């Protein structure tokens, strides 16, 4: 029987690993490390560092693979993502077959948490053969962002909404909430909003040595965030950021 463990590893700080995550890594026969190109080599390096730090025996093997790239030119967004997930699942299946076969325990180290704006669970259910799937939750980027700003996410008795930059840009401010968490923003979707009365808490590379955060009234810090984001992206070749917006009367 093939078992696949999706292990949340936090947002970049190895100290965020839970005891359950460390135990699951050590229980694996094979750990998969995805490579996302030279521009994002930091992500693979962190996974290698975690394995070197917590693995207690030579029994666990490590296999690296190149992650397929999503076709950003596909007009139908959902079809493009669906096709990409099929390609990723096929790559996972082939890598597992090459290094382990159809029996044993496989681990994937997931940035953040496998259940929140991450498609690992959807991809895992496309594997052939279909493994038994277990999830080890990790610290999410939302938790890391709130901690970095010492910010309680929700107001007393009030809801909040987690969404993407694309949906914020296309749909505007969501109805019925005054707090919005924005993830997977390929740009700066907050610029599409009327900034009056909005406050932002932004962060990039959360939990990593290069972490950068900024907060304030959107009218005052919006342009600074855009500039910081562009500078950081050019310096690293990639960026992973998120932000919280609150609307005040």
Q: DSSP letter string over 181-227? A: EEES-SS-GGGGS--TTEEEEEEESTTSTT-EEEEEEHHHHHHHHHH
For the chain, what percent of residues have pLDDT higher than 70?
99
Strand-pair category, 104-110 with 30-35: parallel
Summarised one tens digit per residue, pLDDT across range 163-184 is 999 999 999 999 999 999 999 9
**Do residues 99 and 180 share a domain?**
no
**Do residues 18 and 79 share a domain?**
yes
Mean pLDDT of all residues in 205-213: 92
- The chain-wide mean pLDDT, for the chain, equals 93
For residue 111, the domain's CATH number is 3.40.1010.10
For the chain, what percent of residues have pLDDT higher than 90?
75
User: pLDDT at residue 37 above 80?
Assistant: no
**Do residues 11 and 88 share a domain?**
yes
Domain edge (last residue) among 139, 156, 173: 139
User: pLDDT at residue 57 above 90?
Assistant: no
Query: Edge-to-edge strand order for the sheet containing 161-164?
Result: 161-164, 179-183, 241-247, 198-204, 212-217
Residue 172, sorted as left (phi over 0), alpha (psi -120 to 50) or beta, turns out to be left
Mean pLDDT of all residues in 2-12: 93
**Do residues 39 and 116 share a domain?**
yes
Q: d(Cα 45, Cα 33) in Å, to the nearest integer?
A: 9
**Do residues 24 and 53 share a domain?**
yes
Considering only the C-alpha atoms of the chain, give the largest distance between any 2 of them, rounded to a whole number of Å.
59
User: pLDDT at residue 39 above 70?
Assistant: no
Q: d(Cα 75, Cα 71) in Å, to the nearest integer?
A: 9
From 9-18, 95-104, 212-221, the region with the lowest mean pLDDT: 9-18
Amino acid 196: pLDDT: 96
**Do residues 6 and 18 share a domain?**
yes
Domain edge (last residue) among 139, 171, 197: 139
Q: Which of 107, 110, 169, 168 is nearest to 141 (CA)?
A: 110
Amino acid 36: pLDDT: 82
**Do residues 25 and 42 share a domain?**
yes
Question: Is residue 111 within 8 Å of residue 43, measured between CB atoms?
Answer: yes
User: pLDDT at residue 74 above 80?
Assistant: no
Residue 212, sorted as left (phi over 0), alpha (psi -120 to 50) or beta, turns out to be beta
**Do residues 124 and 9 share a domain?**
yes
Take residue 106 and report the two structure tokens written for it: 């496989």
> Could you tell me which residues are beta bridge partners of residue 31?
62, 107
> 218 vs 81, which has greater pLDDT?
218
Look up the pTM and report it: 0.89
Mean pLDDT of all residues in 220-248: 94
Number of domains making up the chain: 2
Amino acid 173: pLDDT: 97
Residues whose CB is less than 8 angstroms from the CB of residue 78 and which lie 6 or more positions away in sequence, other chains included: none
**Do residues 225 and 111 share a domain?**
no
Domain edge (last residue) among 109, 139, 169: 139
**Do residues 116 and 10 share a domain?**
yes
**Do residues 125 and 167 share a domain?**
no
User: pLDDT at residue 40 above 80?
Assistant: no
**Do residues 182 and 241 share a domain?**
yes
Q: In whole angstroms, how far apart are CA 138 and each of 8, 181, 187, 188?
A: 4, 18, 26, 26
Amino acid 71: pLDDT: 79
Summarised one tens digit per residue, pLDDT across range 79-121 is 888 999 999 999 999 999 999 988 999 999 998 888 888 899 9
Domain that holds residue 103: 2-139
For residue 239, the domain's CATH number is 3.30.950.10
In which band, very low, low, confident or very high, does the pLDDT at 73 lie, cut at 50, 70 and 90? confident
Alpha carbon 170 to chain centroid, angstroms: 22
CA angle at 224 for the pair 231 and 141, rounded to the nearest 5°: 75
Amino acid 193: pLDDT: 97
Summarised one tens digit per residue, pLDDT across range 134-167 is 999 999 999 999 999 999 999 999 999 999 999 9
């Amino acid at each position: 029987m093939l078992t696949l463990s999706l292990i949340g590893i936090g947002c970049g700080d190895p100290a965020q690993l839970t005891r359950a995550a460390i135990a699951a890594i050590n229980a694996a026969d094979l750990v998969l490390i995805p490579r996302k190109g030279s521009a994002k080599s930091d992500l693979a390096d962190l996974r290698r560092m975690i394995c070197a730090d917590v693995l207690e025996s030579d029994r666990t093997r490590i296999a690296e693979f190149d992650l397929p790239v999503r076709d950003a030119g596909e007009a139908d967004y959902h079809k493009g993502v669906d096709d990409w997930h099929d390609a990723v699942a096929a790559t996972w299946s082939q890598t597992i077959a090459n290094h382990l076969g159809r029996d044993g325990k496989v681990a994937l180290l997931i940035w953040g948490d496998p259940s929140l704006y991450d498609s690992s669970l959807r991809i895992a259910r496309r594997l052939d053969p279909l493994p038994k799937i277990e999830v080890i939750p990790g610290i999410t980027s939302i938790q890391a962002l709130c901690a970095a700003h010492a910010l309680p996410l929700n107001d007393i008795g009030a809801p909040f909404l987690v969404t993407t930059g694309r949906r914020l840009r296309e749909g505007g401010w969501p109805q019925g909430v005054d707090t919005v968490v924005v993830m997977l923003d390929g740009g700066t979707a907050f610029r599409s909003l009327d900034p009056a009365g909005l406050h932002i808490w932004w962060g990039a590379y959360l939990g990593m040595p290069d972490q950068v955060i900024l907060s304030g009234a959107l009218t005052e810090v919006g342009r600074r965030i855009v500039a910081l984001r562009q500078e950081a992206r050019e310096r690293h070749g990639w960026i992973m950021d998120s932000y919280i917006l609150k609307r005040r009367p």
